[in-house]
Amino acid sequence: MTTEDGRGDSQVSRRNVFGSGAGVAAAAIAASAALMPVRANAQAATSSKLQEILKRGKLIVGTGTTNPPWHFEDDTGKLVGMDIDMARLFAKGLFDDPGKVEFVRQGADARIPNLITNKIDIVAQFMTITPGRARQVAFTVPYYREGVGLLVLKDSKHKDYAQLKAAGAGATIAWMQNVDVETWTRMVLPDIKILQLESVDATFQSMNARRADVTASDQSTIRWLVSKFPNRYRDLGFGWLPNTYAFGVAQGDAIWLDWVNTQIHEAFMGVDFDYMKAAYMKWFGTELPTPKVGIPSEYGLT
C-alpha cells in the first residue's frame, strides 16, 4: 500500500489574487460571465489543460520506474505496467495514437510538486486518494481498489489466513519498514512475529530464504507475482486496509478532469473495455466482468 505523500502548495485564493480593492471588478467580471454563458464557456475551454495538450501534440505523464505491476522498467529499459498502459490509453483517446505520450520519471515525493508546477499534465503513479492530497490536487474517478494482502511460498504449511493466525508467535511476517507496521499487523495477526526490512524486494528475499513465513504486500503486487510465478508463490486470499488509486490532475480545470473521467469510465464500461480487460488480466490476473447491454448499471436498476 503506497503511503508516500508529495508536498507543495501552489494554491492562491481568489481573494489574494484580486485583493480587497478589486472586489467590485471581480464581481463585475463574474456577472458579465453569467450573462454570456456561451462566451464564458468558450474562454474556459481555450484555457483548459485539454486544449493545451491537444495543441502541444503529446501528453506529459508523471510516473515511477520501480513498482511492478504498476510502473517499472523491463529488461530493455522500457517503461511498462498498468499505469503505463493507462497513460497510453489516454494518449490514444486524445490523438488516436497511444505513442503520443512523454513520461517524466519521478519519485513518489515529486508527484504533487510536479503537477502543481505544471511540469506534467497528469500523475499516473498508483496514487492513493487521501483527504490531505485532495487539498492540493484533483483526483479522478478510481481505477483500482488496493489493499494489503498475504503472500506465502507455494509449499507453505499455512494453507489459509485462519491457519496463519492460529500459528501465533510460531510464524513470522515480513514487512517493508514503516512506523505503522505494528498497528497494521495486530489488526489481523495479533501474535505473529514481525520482521521489518528496508525494501519490498528484501521482504520477498527473506521469505524465499525461509526467514519469514509470509510477506505482507500490496494485493496488486501479490496478484502479479502469483500470475508470473505460479509455481513459487501462493496468495492466502485475505486482505485488509483498503485504499483507492486514482489519477491526479491540477485543481481548477473541470474540462480536463471531466475528459479523463470520461476516458476511465469508458475503459471500464464502454468502447475501451477490451483494452482495460486485457490490462487487468495482464498485470493482476483478474478477469473483468463484461458490462451488461441495456440499462446502464450505473443507475442501479439491474
Cα–Cα distance, 109 to 262 (Å, whole number): 28
Task: For strands 59-63 and 101-105, give the pairing.
Answer: parallel
What count of other Cβ atoms lies within 10 Å of the Cβ of residue 158?
Answer: 19
**CA dihedral angle for residue 258, residue 261, residue 267, residue 272, rounded to 10 degrees:** 10
Same CATH topology for 14-137+250-299 and 146-244: the answer is: yes
Burial 160-197 (b: 16+ CB within 10 A, else e): ebeebbebeeebbbbbbeeeebeebbeebbeebbbbeb
Domain 14-137+250-299 bears CATH identifier 3.40.190.10: yes
235 within 8 A of 223, measured Cβ to Cβ = yes
Cα–Cα distance, 206 to 213 (Å, whole number): 9
DSSP string over 255-271: HHHHHHHHHHHHHHHST
Average of pLDDT values for 88-113? 97
225 within 8 A of 205, measured Cβ to Cβ = no
pLDDT tens by residue, 161-177: 999 999 999 999 999 99
Cα–Cα distance, 100 to 61 (Å, whole number): 11
**Terminal alpha carbon distance of the chain:** 33
State the amino acid at position 75 in one-letter form: D
From residue 80, alpha-carbon distances to 75, 76, 243 in Å are 10, 10, 23
Task: For strands 233-249 and 144-153, give the pairing.
Answer: antiparallel
State the amino acid at position 130 in one-letter form: T
Does the pLDDT value for residue 11 go beyond 50?
A: no
Cα–Cα distance, 189 to 166 (Å, whole number): 9
3-state secondary structure of 1: coil
What percent of the chain clears pLDDT 90, i.e. is strictly above it? Answer: 82
- The chain-wide mean pLDDT, for the chain, equals 88
**Assigned superfamily of 146-244:** Periplasmic binding protein-like II (3.40.190.10)
Q: Choose between 3 and 268: higher pLDDT.
A: 268
| Domain coordinates in residue numbering, the chain | 14-137+250-299, 146-244
3-state class percentages of the chain: helix first, strand second, coil last, to nearest 5: 45, 25, 35
pTM higher than 0.85 for the full model? no
285 within 8 A of 235, measured Cβ to Cβ = no
pLDDT in the model for residue 88: 98
pLDDT tens by residue, 12-49: 332 222 233 333 333 333 444 444 444 445 445 568 99
